[in-house]
Chain A
């Protein structure tokens, strides 16, 4: 337990064990029992009005004001980061896999037109109907059209950040479609009428009592019963009848294979398989950047994805949907929504390599301490800092400042996106294009609020240290970065001052612990 960030969380539930008695930690399970000890109201996100900027620093303050939630969130995500490290270190060719993943994606993106055409032709040959949506509105209209063509009124779906990005659930609900999310975390968020806070674990900002309150209110579970087993089982029992009764199923897609026209999903619950295989109609909504050329390329990406995301060797289910089963129908909606334009941004196009693992979020000290909802959009953490401004430059103009530029995100990215350099480059864009006045102030605020507490800062530095050595000097000493201006950063030596002090002087110093 010595490596806990927050020792007060130690203990809690006994870990589930394998048949030989060893504790299990696969999927998104913690590698050690963690539990908040006190009840606390869930901090709620700020709503940003249209035309206004998301104020990440202010939103983060709200999260910081809920210490039980904040410390658990911090510890839980840091644990996922450590699980990721253990998986990565166990594979000799890990760095080679990252390099391959980066190169395969770069090749695909620089030939995206031809691979999309190849994918479309292959999918059509499989009997699948392929649709193209230039933006979120068109995507939503296409899905509604398919549902109406089939007389479908109820829809079950697996987790899809793309449909969140498009606002599909709200749109379809307004048009009389009854939607049920089948991923537990996403179902919790749906029932609580709250956006997902993390691309992989959507309800990670909630504690068990929050889930208990939501389920008591919406599913009729026993008020006050916050046993995760009871809550998960209640969700299973209430969702299954809806799965069986649904007219249609919708999934996202982690990968598209140009060679075969297949859509690939990765889930731990098997809920994408239920959504696609139970009703007679399967719709897959996928962003155009999810393409890979060959089936054999998947070997690289599947080996990287879950290890990077959760520190689990593979998701429980990796599903390859090439054609509808006999008697059923399959549609694929290819969605652009700004991606083709992003391809033309010299400094930012490689953000399209992202496979949505969330590793950059888990490692980011600002994300871990501010919560995903404080970013005001589907994509949060370093990934959000880099791609959210491509959706709305003004609204998300403050986000590139919610970073210490420590480079840890770049170090863990399985497709080697230079995230921290792109975050820095966005600060330059904001400066050039109209968002300067707040810049310096915000740079202090965004990361400063989150890391203002010295104890938290020390935990952050432990992450940052290794990254400092590869951070380009311009990134820390630019004129916009109030953090870097006027100071010299220390050499990223073997240990921080605090660690050095603890080791050499703590016992000799007067007074109590620092």
Chain B
């Protein structure tokens, strides 16, 4: 029996698991298996699972899958009862007389494998481990360390989730990861983006070209209106037009005796612009420096001088004439100066005579007044003046009084008036005489001015002497001659303006007509250069697009190959496990109608789907989707059967099946069937079962498992499991 239990020792079996400070083990505890099957049973929370977790951690340094990835391993794996910072584990496998000892230390982060007396560390230990066990971590979880949580997906309603669960059971995760990586769409999108870029840039260039073409056509139309021809719309045409402009400018300069530097050639717009400016300067120079302009200036100066002289002369003559007329009128009215002097003397004499008479009258009046006063005081009968006796009846005083009064009112007044008049006339004669003097002086002054003007006119005419009477006519002749000359020059200038206008028109036409056309032409040429440069870039872009497309195609091929491989692998695994899965299905499920289980992969375009069907003895038409016709318990049993079958048929270096809680969700008959299965398995390989189900333990016992396996009874937990071991291992 022992030999049976230890059979198949071509492969490694579990000898012992030692844990220290690890989760449910606060100190150090070793669970020995010694290559025998084992049943770990006991209530929940007594530390059974600590050993399956420990096995997994020591071998692979990971936590179980159900622990969230973002949890720190320390928080989960550190002993729950001790305050130690580190934890440690050791797993020993045995094969024949050989041992492989795996150790992992959380503090030193060291992982070692001692094999054949040699210690391998870390990556080397990992490589050696994979080589020795002949499986990777995923396969270990799938084919050795069986947990019921892995089959829960098969019970779910969503086909997608059932598919994923089957993928996991079949170990398809790496292929799915690869399949997820192999996404051609991004590369296809990139290829499209590169080509869109090329198209957009080409479109942009075309739009720009259309716009420039339109602008050039408009410019050409305008240039045609300015008499340019199609053949002129290129650098040669521009040069011809500029050459013609230069020639016209030279000819005009020559015609008007202005020396000009020849205009340079112009094959480009910039050169033509420059030439147009030079031409404009040349035109200005001709206007400024031409002989006509040189000749016109002195003529105009002389003409101005003569006209001024003429004007002055005329004005002076007029003023002399005017002064003389005034003098003449004055002398006509008042006589000449001699007569006026004579008259003045007469009037002076008259004035003096009048004054004498007035003086005499006043003297008489005084005398009479004095006499009256005397008479009045002395009552004289005799006139005190004439010493005559007034006629009788005459009152002397009254007579005197009358006489004084008469003298005062008539004689003296008349005399005074006569004096005043004489005096006035005398004063008038003085004024007239003075006026005559002034008029004579004015005439003299105007004559002097006239004389100066005459001299100036003679000088302006550049003559030596001109008779006075001919002066005006000679001036007129000179002015007329100069005006003729001026007119002649002005006519010449007008003709020059016409010539220059023609040159200016040429220059303007080039500037406004031809240069815009050539500018647009240059812009199109630049655009074409840019387009060529861009085309070269587009060749590279096109290569990139093609490369992206190629990568996308390659990835698609890879993706298809992955799918193909997945389908093939799944098919092969399921075919290999099929008979055993059917056997276990029959034992564990015991369905009265659907006694046949069939799981098949189907390759669709982008995925592999599984049909998990049951049927009545495999009869066609009786197939049903298992999830639809099996109860949860039956489904669990079927899934467990498939899991065991897959695990058993997976080839690797371990002769071990470590099953955690296999009876969850099973009814008693199923548990009994499961116990039979475990017992059957224990007869040919090392199977370790952890369970809290004492019914199941009893079934195992009744199936004779104690003869095949060690029973580790986890009785209680007080910081670490309290384990009581019995069975074959203890006997050995």
The answer to whether A and B come from one shared complex is no
Query: Which residue numbers of A lie inside 8 Å of B, CB to CB?
Result: none
Query: Which residue numbers of B lie inside 8 Å of A, CB to CB?
Result: none
